[in-house]
Structure 1
Amino acid sequence: MLYVGRFTPRILGVTVFITLLLIYTPLHYSIAVYALEEGEYKRIVVHAPAVSEVSGREVGAILNITITVTPGNGKIFVSTTPLSMIDMQASARIAVLVACRLLKINPFKYNFYFEINAPALIVGGPSAGAALTIGVFSLLSNIPLRKDVMITGMINPDGTIGPVGGIVTKLKAAADYGVKVFLIPLGQRYTTVKKVETRKIGPIVEQIVRVERVDVVEYGRKLGVKVIEVGSITNAIKYFTGYEIPEPRNLTEPKIPEALNERLRENTQQSLNTVKSLISELKRETPLEVRSYLREATRLLNLAIKSIDRGDYYTALSYLFNSKIHLYFIRYYVRVGSGESLERIVGEVENYINYVEEVVHSINVSNILLLEIVSAASWRVRVAKDLLDKAKDSLKSGDYRTALENLAFAYARAETALDWLKLIVPLESILFDYNSFKRIVESYLYEARTVVAYARTVIEEMGLTSQLYNLLSQAVNNLSWAEEALNGGDLYLALEASCNSIVYATSALSLAVTSREALQYQFEHSRSEALKTINMVQQYNVTPVASTLYYMRAKAEVDPVTAIILYKMSAIHANTILSLILLGSGGRVVVEKPEVPLKTPTPAKPPTPTITPTVKQPIKLDRENILVLALSAIAVAIVILALRSIIVMRRERTVYY
Structure 2
Amino acid sequence: MKLHSLAAVILLATLVLNHVSLLATSMEPLYQWTSTVELQVPGVALTPNGYIGTMSKLIVTVAWPGKGIVYFSADPLTELDTQAAARMAALIASILAGVNYYSYDYFIRLESNTSIVGGPSASGAMAVAILAALRGINVPTNFSMTGMVDPDATLGPVGGIPQKLEAAARAGVKVFVIPIGERYSTDLNTGEKVDIVALGRELGVNVIEASTIADAYEIATGDKLTPKNVTLDISYPPWLVSSLNESINFYKKTARSNMTCAEEALSGLSTSLASSLVDILRDAKHNMDVGTKLEAAGKLYAAASRYFAAAIETTYACNTAKAYSSTNPLQVLTKLSMSYINETTAILQNVENKFNESLRANMTSITDVQLQLYIASMTRLLDANSSLNTASALLGIAEKAASYQALQALSRALQAAIYAYYRALTANHWLTLALQAADDGEPINLDLLYRSVETYTYFAESAVNYLQTLGVNIADTAEQIALAKDVIQRGMERRDPVKVLQALAYTVKGLADVNSQLHAVFNTGIAVLDASKRSLSVLLQRLADLNVTLILPLLYTEYADTLVDVNAKLGLYVQSSSYALLLALVANKQAGTPITALQGGEKCSSETMTVTKTTTIVNTTTTTVEKTITVTSTTTTTETISKTVAGETGSTRSSPTLQLLSYVLVAGIALAVGVASERMRRQP
Residues 378-387 or 473-482, more deviating: 473-482
Match of 1:411 among 418, 421, 430: 421
* Deviations 1:579-599 (CA, angstroms, capped at 9, x unpaired): 555569xxxxxxxxxxxxxxx
Counterparts of residues 20-59 of structure 1 (less than 5 Å): 37-38=30-31, 43-55=36-48, 57-59=50-52
Q: Is the 8 A contact 1:78 1:115 kept in 2?
A: yes
Is 1:442–2:450 an aligned residue pair? Answer: yes
Is 1:455–2:484 an aligned residue pair? Answer: no
Distance in structure 1 (CA, Å) of the matches to 2:521 and 2:530:
14
Match of 2:562 among 550, 556, 562: 556
Q: Which amino acid aligns with 2:413?
A: A
Paired residue for 2:148?
154
Change (3 A) 1:170 1:276: same
* Deviations 1:81-103 (CA, angstroms, capped at 9, x unpaired): 33345543123222222232233
Q: CA deviation at 1:156?
A: 2.0
Counterparts of residues 354-503 of structure 1 (less than 5 Å): 354-358=349-353, 367-398=367-398, 399-420=409-430, 430-433=440-443, 436-464=444-472, 491=497, 494-495=500-501, 498=504, 501-502=507-508
Distance in structure 2 (CA, Å) of the matches to 1:538 and 1:234:
18
Q: Is the 8 A contact 1:264 1:423 kept in 2?
A: no
Counterparts of residues 574-613 of structure 1 (less than 5 Å): 574=580, 576-577=582-583, 582=588
Is 1:215–2:210 an aligned residue pair? Answer: no
Structure 1, unmatched stretches of 5+, are 1-35, 196-209, 585-657
SS at match of 1:159: coil
Q: CA deviation at 1:452?
A: 0.9
Q: CA deviation at 1:338?
A: 6.5
Distance in structure 2 (CA, Å) of the matches to 1:144 and 1:407:
58
Change (3 A) 1:422 1:529: farther
Q: Is the 8 A contact 2:51 2:188 kept in 1?
A: no
Paired residue for 2:122?
128
Is 1:182–2:176 an aligned residue pair? Answer: yes
Q: CA deviation at 1:496?
A: 6.8
Q: CA deviation at 1:148?
A: 1.1
* Deviations 1:226-269 (CA, angstroms, capped at 9, x unpaired): 11111122222223222221338774522234554344223222
Paired residue for 1:314?
301
Q: CA deviation at 1:471?
A: 6.5
Paired residue for 2:224?
244
Paired residue for 2:133?
139
Match of 2:209 among 219, 222, 229: 229
Q: Is the 8 A contact 2:460 2:507 kept in 1?
A: yes
Is 1:526–2:532 an aligned residue pair? Answer: yes
Q: CA deviation at 1:144?
A: 1.6
Q: Which amino acid aligns with 1:384?
A: A
* Deviations 1:271-297 (CA, angstroms, capped at 9, x unpaired): 222222222223344544543235413
Q: CA deviation at 1:179?
A: 1.5
Percent identity, aligned pairs only, is 24
Q: CA deviation at 1:546?
A: 2.9
Paired residue for 1:293?
277
Paired residue for 1:609?
none
Change (3 A) 1:303 1:59: closer
SS at match of 1:126: coil
Paired residue for 1:631?
none
Distance in structure 1 (CA, Å) of the matches to 2:368 and 2:202:
58
* Deviations 1:153-174 (CA, angstroms, capped at 9, x unpaired): 2222332212222211121121
SS at match of 1:255: coil
Change (3 A) 1:439 1:518: same
Distance in structure 2 (CA, Å) of the matches to 1:500 and 1:247:
34
* Deviations 1:398-443 (CA, angstroms, capped at 9, x unpaired): 454543332122112112223435657998953543xx44224313
Task: Give the count of matched residue pairs.
Answer: 531
SS at match of 1:47: strand
Distance in structure 1 (CA, Å) of the matches to 2:226 and 2:152:
17
Q: Which amino acid aligns with 1:565?
A: G
* Deviations 1:556-590 (CA, angstroms, capped at 9, x unpaired): 22223322333343344455555555569xxxxxx
The root-mean-square deviation of aligned C-alpha atoms, in Å, is: 3.8
Q: CA deviation at 1:391?
A: 2.3
Q: Is the 8 A contact 2:255 2:307 kept in 1?
A: yes
* Deviations 1:99-134 (CA, angstroms, capped at 9, x unpaired): 322333334344434333322222122222222233
SS at match of 1:558: coil
Distance in structure 2 (CA, Å) of the matches to 1:147 and 1:184:
17
Is 1:267–2:243 an aligned residue pair? Answer: no
Distance in structure 1 (CA, Å) of the matches to 2:293 and 2:429:
21
Q: Which amino acid aligns with 2:39?
A: V
Change (3 A) 1:49 1:529: closer
Q: Which amino acid aligns with 1:355?
A: N
Distance in structure 2 (CA, Å) of the matches to 1:542 and 1:513:
31
Q: Which amino acid aligns with 1:240?
A: A
Q: CA deviation at 1:534?
A: 4.6
Paired residue for 1:32?
none
Q: Which amino acid aligns with 1:394?
A: L
Change (3 A) 1:411 1:84: same
Distance in structure 2 (CA, Å) of the matches to 1:542 and 1:172:
45
Change (3 A) 1:361 1:82: closer
Distance in structure 2 (CA, Å) of the matches to 1:371 and 1:111:
27
Paired residue for 1:608?
none
More helix per residue: 2
* Deviations 1:201-239 (CA, angstroms, capped at 9, x unpaired): xxxxxxxxx643321111111111111111122222223
Change (3 A) 1:240 1:373: closer
SS at match of 1:412: helix
Q: Is the 8 A contact 1:472 1:508 kept in 2?
A: no
Q: Is the 8 A contact 1:448 1:499 kept in 2?
A: no
Match of 1:74 among 68, 82, 93: 68
TM-score computed with the length of structure 1 as normaliser: 0.70
TM-score computed with the length of structure 2 as normaliser: 0.68
Paired residue for 2:259?
279
Q: Is the 8 A contact 2:80 2:462 kept in 1?
A: no
* Deviations 1:36-58 (CA, angstroms, capped at 9, x unpaired): 95498655443212222334532
Structure 2, unmatched stretches of 5+, are 1-28, 399-408, 591-684
SS at match of 2:110: strand
Counterparts of residues 317-332 of structure 1 (less than 5 Å): 317-330=304-317
Change (3 A) 1:568 1:133: closer
Which structure is higher in RCO with an 8 Å CA cutoff and minimum separation 6? 2
Distance in structure 1 (CA, Å) of the matches to 2:370 and 2:75:
50
Q: Which amino acid aligns with 1:549?
A: L
Change (3 A) 1:39 1:367: closer
Distance in structure 2 (CA, Å) of the matches to 1:142 and 1:259:
43
* Deviations 1:171-218 (CA, angstroms, capped at 9, x unpaired): 1121122221222121111123366xxxxxxxxxxxxxx643321111
Change (3 A) 1:301 1:423: farther
Residues 313-322 or 336-345, more deviating: 336-345
Match of 1:64 among 57, 68, 84: 57
Paired residue for 2:6?
none
